[in-house]
Structure 1
Amino acid sequence: MIPPINRGAFHMQFDDEAKLDPSQVEDVRATGPKRGGGGMPGCGTVPFTGKGGGCLLGLFALAAVFVFTVDPLRFLGDDPTSSPSPARPSTPVHSTGDLASRCRTGADADQSEDCRAVGVVNSVQAYWNRLFNERGQAYSPAKTVLFSRSVNTACGYADASVGPFYCPGDQRVYLDLLFFNTLQRDFGAAGGPFAQAYVIAHEYGHHIQNLTGTMNRVGGDRQGATSGSVRLELQADCYAGVWAKKAVDTGFYRVPFTREDIAEALNAASAVGDDTIQERVQGRVDPEGFTHGTSAQRERWFSTGYETGDPRRCDTFSGVI
């Protein structure tokens, strides 16, 4: 059961003096490719490996499948006869400089959605960098690309209807900020700062899976209630919860997140569960088509990460999920 959300009780506040690093976010909204005919993203020749290709790993593939009638086999790389969507003429990916001038401190992050995205990315990566260092490993940062409507990636040409996603081929998180309006309007999720933070942290969970080789465990097991795809997505939810527990330790937030903040994340996780989306769109639930997990599972695994603060408790590949 998701706790009731008090709209006036959000306390996700950045430390006003925290120094933001806008170089971790690239803004191509003014220069990105425009919406054209065809071309939903496919998968590279080595799905889930990040070796020169790889599938797009998003928050809720089923939303794209049902609402935008994308072929799920092609989208997830299950169809051996399919090929990646051809790349459109490339657009240089670079920081516009605008973020660098506007997003300097935590105070800016509290006032601007763009800067808040920068702050969340900074905090998430600070957490994982510290954890990798503590374990004697090197963390490879992943940039977030802010785009509008469509974007070219190493995984193919992506339309904004895919939602936020991680591309292993270029190790980048792609985000159209207008997605959060869709999440609230079309999927019934509570809109707000922490729902956005959860989404970003989830996508960086995929980056961690790429760095640690966990993606290789999926293989061709891409659909079904206990599939490798579902286990991968639930682990990314758990990793998002772990970051939420440890976020204040990264130095970007004034105080730990509140119960209302966490309720907002759970609400967003529930709204994008496979069963919830299927029921809303097609009027029935088909576990054989699951790719991301049920609403209850997504809530539970985010909560597991948040309550324990231990990524070792995020082993969704062993036992019952």
Structure 2
Amino acid sequence: MELNERAELDTSQVNDRGRGGGGGGGLGIPLPGGGGRGGLIGIVVAVLVALLGGGFGLNAMTNGDEGGQAGGTDLEQLCSRDNPQRFDDLRCRNLAYVNSIQGYWQKAYPELGNGKYEPTDTNYFQAAVNTGCGQADSGVGPFYCPADRQVYIDLSFYEELASRFGAKGEFAQPYVLAHEYGHHIQNLLGTNEKASQGDQSGPRSASVRLELQADCYAGAWAKHATETKDKTGQEPLFKSITQTDISEALKAAEAIGDDSIQERSGGQVNPDSFTHGTSAQRQRWFQQGYDQGNPKTCDTFGTDQL
């Protein structure tokens, strides 16, 4: 994978909230041994809180800080084309990924027959953040909050993904973000709300189908990532994405399957407790999205072959 050093990045799509930053959303499912309430690259708890009115005391904060800076780093300066070392910085690389993912959905979403795509922000935070779905800390991993329709990530998660889960490839990072934006697509389409009516755990549960569909959406983005353009609409954001990069995404998907996490935690594999799908399923649906390059082929709710 190679980013284009000539690309002009749109910093309005990311807020760097720094330590304990306010604004924006979400709770996922906790990392094994983590200190958070909520998910490893997931949104199941957040969906239940948002749609059923439960739990965490929704103390939605203002989103008044516009993109680029909100108690953290001035991304506009850091990630400018004038900085030749910008892509050495994790924040700028992830900004480029967010720009690419949203650029893809600007074109792909209308083809799903639900109007225009509604962009949303990604929020970088450290340690803890107040969100539209309640308060979260870094232990929850990356997440999407349906209540305020925003993505949240403590970028130190990538270190844990590499060290604890063995997903060391750089392309694991945009896979994580593309998965979370897949949840945004589901929220816009109303899929989240429909899924909340079904079983929330089990090998064929609505929550598993929701997560696998987000993996498939991530694969569809990956197929077209090199076609996405920068802020000017002239320069591609990626120079290249190789099969090695796709293999890195698949390795990340394998590492965070329910069965893999349960085995790594030293317990027995219990399919009745699954919320995200097995390693094989997560790989399969990412590959489905990548091979077909069309989110219309990501109907995990209409098949018995998960």
- Common fold: TM-score over 0.5: yes
Shift of 1:167: 0.3
Aligned to 1:204: 181
Which amino acid is 1:198 matched to?
Y
Shift of 1:130: 1.5
Aligned to 2:227: 249
Identical aligned residues as a percent: 47
Shift of 1:84: 2.2
Which amino acid is 1:100 matched to?
E
Confirm whether residue 259 of structure 1 aligns to residue 235 of structure 2: no
Shift of 1:93: 5.8
Counterpart-to-counterpart distance in 2, 1:231 and 1:81: 19
What aligned pairs does 1:216-227 form with structure 2 within 5 A after superposition? 216-218=193-195, 219-227=197-205
Shift of 1:90: 4.9
Shift of 1:71: 8.3
Instruction: Name the count of aligned residue pairs.
Output: 285
Shift of 1:86: 3.2
Which amino acid is 2:56 matched to?
S
Query: Where do 5+ consecutive residues of structure 1 fail to align?
Result: 1-11, 34-52
Shift of 1:147: 0.4
Report if the CA contact (8 A) 1:99-1:115 is conserved.
yes
Shift of 1:76: 7.0
Counterpart-to-counterpart distance in 2, 1:316 and 1:206: 13
Which amino acid is 2:259 matched to?
D
Aligned to 2:270: 286
Counterpart-to-counterpart distance in 1, 2:265 and 2:241: 33
User: Are the structure 2 counterparts of residues 117 and 307 from structure 1 closer, same or farther at C-alpha, using a change threshold of 3 Å?
Assistant: same
Confirm whether residue 15 of structure 1 aligns to residue 14 of structure 2: no
TM-score by length of 1: 0.80
SS at match of 1:20: coil
Shift of 1:259: 1.3
Counterpart-to-counterpart distance in 2, 1:150 and 1:69: 9
SS at match of 2:300: coil
Which amino acid is 1:304 matched to?
Q
Match of 2:135 among 152, 157, 161: 157
Match of 1:174 among 142, 152, 160: 152
SS at match of 1:177: coil
Counterpart-to-counterpart distance in 2, 1:16 and 1:69: 36
CA offsets per residue over residues 226-272 of structure 1, 9 Å max, x none?
00000000000010010000001113334341111111111111110
Aligned to 2:166: 188
Confirm whether residue 308 of structure 1 aligns to residue 292 of structure 2: yes
Shift of 1:13: 1.2
Shift of 1:214: 1.2
Structure 1 range deviating more: 83-92 or 215-224: 83-92
Aligned to 1:86: 57
SS at match of 1:317: helix
Counterpart-to-counterpart distance in 2, 1:178 and 1:54: 18
SS at match of 1:197: helix
Which amino acid is 1:139 matched to?
Y
User: Are the structure 2 counterparts of residues 183 and 54 from structure 1 closer, same or farther at C-alpha, using a change threshold of 3 Å?
Assistant: closer
Which amino acid is 1:159 matched to?
D
User: Are the structure 2 counterparts of residues 55 and 148 from structure 1 closer, same or farther at C-alpha, using a change threshold of 3 Å?
Assistant: closer
User: Are the structure 2 counterparts of residues 123 and 224 from structure 1 closer, same or farther at C-alpha, using a change threshold of 3 Å?
Assistant: same
Aligned to 1:213: 190
SS at match of 1:193: coil
Shift of 1:25: 0.1
Match of 1:99 among 67, 75, 83: 75
